[in-house]
Structure 1
């Protein structure tokens, strides 16, 4: 069973040309053609925090559906896509067992969204995030996320991805991830015109095989946001005996 995942900070749909163009973002997502996509800055910042990509556009013109995190308060309204700008999209034929919002320790509104998926008899827990600009806060947030994964009553595989805001290629707050989680480095993704930093990362548990990973470069992606999307092609074990305990 193969699974392609991707993460994309869409900058509220505003490209380098200063135009908000949800159709352009959706076209980039079609180019990537991932099974599960974590979006950051998927809602507008002020007002009703409306979704950058209208639900009708996703429903009518995409193979994905929005995972509902099921956490409502002033930071999330019925017109938004996720939780504090984080959203998860999954292909319609993938079973979503449950989903939730994960509050993160911070001085500004931050959060993460988590969904448990069932794929070929395996449970894969996917978590999308947008971490703090402060290194200390990032470390605390990663520890909170790892705790959320560890405390889940049903263990399974894990995929964590998003805009980590970590400029260090391998150290810094990344060292806070648990030992059984591998931090992938798909490549430089920020800024999109001439990327120099690996701010966007994908983290996987040891039970998942990584066939390939990279940064999606295309003419539309180069102007659609200030970040480029990152992706990874994963392979699940062939039988349940290979799953982590």
Structure 2
């Protein structure tokens, strides 16, 4: 079975420079990805000030519902709550979502963070999906990564197909090794090495070859920092790319990642 997925920090549906609503253009851009499952961060569940100030540009629906439209089911995990609204993570799925839960992993009072876990019922079986947005401080991210590992370990079978995607804010790439070692995942850009032979890949994992590096996704106009990731278990990565350029720079400060996956035989058997 093949899946097309995407992860995207949508910057609450407003432009990164002038904070103008971009939610309608964003919906068109998401549709152009033709993704079966979208992992979204900074989704505005409610914002009374924008709804009043930009009534003609701001949908009456919550952003996750508006972006899902008729083609996808939307699940929202509320993280940050304030007087005029709230925002969080969301998962949009072309397939039924049979269960969902949101775990608070906030590390201090100044940042509200969460892990949204959804079980998606695909034609090949259940896939455990985790939408992640980690904190801005290194110590917070380490503790939140530990919480992520514990969440995946306790909420999904050890051999179940897993997708973990989102904004990790891990520009120094300190967290990937722990996720690989503890959860058996790979990042969708892990195979983009100078030498793509299997031996070179094993040497890299053992620390004797080129360091595995995620893609650059921030800022969207000219990506330099490696903030956004997609980790998978039980899938083969067919393609992975960062979408960037003038169009995407107008929509958010992050560039989205789109990947095409195929479920491997062992995971297919487990999912069934």
- The reply to whether TM is greater than 0.5 is yes
- Number of the residue aligned with 1:2: 2
Task: State how far apart, in whole Å, the 2-side matches of 1:202 and 1:98 are.
Answer: 21
What SS does the corresponding residue of 1:116 show, helix, strand or coil? strand
Larger deviation, residues 171-180 vs 221-230:
171-180
- Number of the residue aligned with 1:233: 260
Aligned residues: 232
What SS does the corresponding residue of 1:127 show, helix, strand or coil? strand
| Counterpart contact for 1:32–1:216, Cα < 8 Å | no
- Number of the residue aligned with 1:133: 136
Task: State how far apart, in whole Å, the 1-side matches of 2:45 and 2:79 are.
Answer: 16
- Number of the residue aligned with 2:11: 11
Structure that is richer in helix per residue? 2
Shift of 1:98: 0.4
Q: Which runs of 5 or more residues in structure 1 are unaligned?
A: none
TM-score (norm 1): 0.82
Larger deviation, residues 213-222 vs 235-244:
235-244
| Counterpart contact for 1:122–1:240, Cα < 8 Å | no
Q: What pairs with 1:87-236 in structure 2 (closer than 5 Å)?
A: 87-91=90-94, 94-107=95-108, 108-152=111-155, 154-155=157-158, 156-168=160-172, 171-179=173-181, 180-185=184-189, 187-205=215-233, 207-217=234-244, 219-236=246-263
Task: State how far apart, in whole Å, the 1-side matches of 2:49 and 2:102 are.
Answer: 18
| Counterpart contact for 2:76–2:89, Cα < 8 Å | no
Q: Larger Cα Rg: Structure 1 or Structure 2?
A: 2
**Distance change >3 Å, CA 44–CA 100, structure 1 → 2:** closer
Q: What is the alpha-carbon root mean square deviation over aligned residues?
A: 3.1
| Counterpart contact for 1:49–1:76, Cα < 8 Å | no
- Number of the residue aligned with 2:75: 67
Task: State how far apart, in whole Å, the 2-side matches of 1:173 and 1:226 are.
Answer: 22
| Counterpart contact for 2:166–2:228, Cα < 8 Å | yes
What SS does the corresponding residue of 1:177 show, helix, strand or coil? helix
Q: Which runs of 5 or more residues in structure 2 are unaligned?
A: 52-57, 190-213
Q: Deviations over 1:174-206 (max 9, x none)?
A: 22214201123362210011111121110111x
Task: State how far apart, in whole Å, the 1-side matches of 2:82 and 2:98 are.
Answer: 22
